[in-house]
Amino acid sequence: MSMGQFTVVGAGQMGSGIAQVAAQSGFQVCLMDLDEAYVQKGLKGITKNLARQVEKGRMTEGEKGEVLGRIRPTTNLREAAGKADIVVEAVVENMQVKTDVFSQLDEAAPAHTILATNTSSLPITEIAAVTRRPEQVIGMHFMNPVPVMKLVEVIRGLATSDEVYHKVEQLAREMGKNPVEVNDFPGFVANRVLMPMINEAIYAVYEGVAEPEAVDQVMKLGMNHPMGPLTLADFIGLDTCLYIMETLYDGFGDSKYRPCPLLRKYVKAGWLGKKTGRGFYTYG
């Protein structure tokens, strides 16, 4: 089976990044979102990223046009799934929304289509269970910013077949990424390790151990992290960080994953990080 037709559902930051990388890797891409405005916003971000590549002399104007020409925007899920060899879902991190999308994809996609989710921590097995093809459902967790980060966590649900796993691993390589095999437990590996570190950094601020700038400096200069944990939390979105901590806490029932009260407070205040202009830092 060739993966010629690549559909991405959800044109937000992650979905548009995945669509960009897939188109740059030569796939015919269909980028779908519910609202025309979201699809256009996603395309605008991709165009801007490609323009930067042209400015840096890494891509010609002609190549940029070819990449954009491989991305077909749509607001029709049925049409987006109808001819797809693979669908990567990158909609909001909400189980009800994801299972709705997967039920619809299962109805609309041909029998051979692999249905992947870019979820950062929700159970693949539970998402797969709403379809009639759980052996063809898998996690494909890209990191933000997708065009830059090399990792794809490839997550096997309980029923994912070996054949599907190997196809997706190969696909990630064709997209220039390094796939890493992971089993389906809360937070997988990336967020099981990353989020408790971010949560602990927030506790350090909450308990008055240090100011946010100081916590970030320690981790940047002391551990060579490209961004300090609080800058990274603002970049990921504090609502997403809280959601992932809740998923770990609920999934393991272990108090070591309790979200910091300061994180809850910021989210309740609408201080969600870079996207709302305020989190641990302010953005102009």
Question: Has 274 been labeled as part of a binding site?
Answer: no
CB nearer to ligand CAA: pick between 160 and 191? 191
Runs of H (alpha helix) within 33-138: 36-55, 61-69, 77-82, 95-108, 124-128
Question: Has 15 been labeled as part of a binding site?
Answer: yes
The catalytically annotated residue of 16, 118, 121, 141 is: 141
CB nearer to ligand CAA: pick between 130 and 227? 227
Question: Has 33 been labeled as part of a binding site?
Answer: yes
Q: Which residues contact 77 (CB under 8 A, 6 or more apart)?
A: 9, 32, 101, 104, 105, 108
Taking the alpha carbons at both ends of the chain, their separation in whole angstroms is 48
What is the C-alpha separation between 135 and 139, in angstroms, rounded? Answer: 12
CB nearer to ligand CAA: pick between 168 and 190? 190
What is the C-alpha separation between 13 and 67, in angstroms, rounded? Answer: 18
H or E segment at 89?
A: strand 86-89
Kindly state the smallest distance separating residue 208's Cβ from ligand CAA, in Å. 26
Question: Has 13 been labeled as part of a binding site?
Answer: yes
Kindly state the smallest distance separating residue 15's Cβ from ligand CAA, in Å. 13
Question: Has 11 been labeled as part of a binding site?
Answer: yes
What is the C-alpha separation between 129 and 135, in angstroms, rounded? Answer: 10
- Site residues, ligand CAA (CB under 6 A): 49, 52, 56, 120, 143-145, 147-149, 190-191, 194, 226-227, 232, 236, 240
Assess whether 191 carries a catalytic annotation: yes
CB nearer to ligand CAA: pick between 77 and 190? 190
As beta bridge partners, residue 282 has 278
The catalytically annotated residue of 49, 118, 121, 191 is: 191
Kindly state the smallest distance separating residue 251's Cβ from ligand CAA, in Å. 15
Assess whether 120 carries a catalytic annotation: yes
Runs of H (alpha helix) within the chain: 13-24, 36-55, 61-69, 77-82, 95-108, 124-128, 162-174, 190-206, 212-223, 229-236, 238-252, 261-269
Q: Cis (ω within 30 of 0) for the bond into 229?
A: no
CB nearer to ligand CAA: pick between 120 and 136? 120
Question: Has 56 been labeled as part of a binding site?
Answer: no
The catalytically annotated residue of 49, 120, 121, 199 is: 120
Count Cβ atoms below 10 Å from residue 160 Cβ, excluding itself: 24
The catalytically annotated residue of 153, 199, 200, 211 is: 153
Kindly state the smallest distance separating residue 240's Cβ from ligand CAA, in Å. 6
The set of catalytic residues is: 120, 141, 153, 191
Binding residues for NAD(+): 10-15, 33, 93, 98, 120, 144, 275
Task: Give the residue numbers of the binding site.
Answer: 10-15, 33, 93, 98, 120, 144, 275
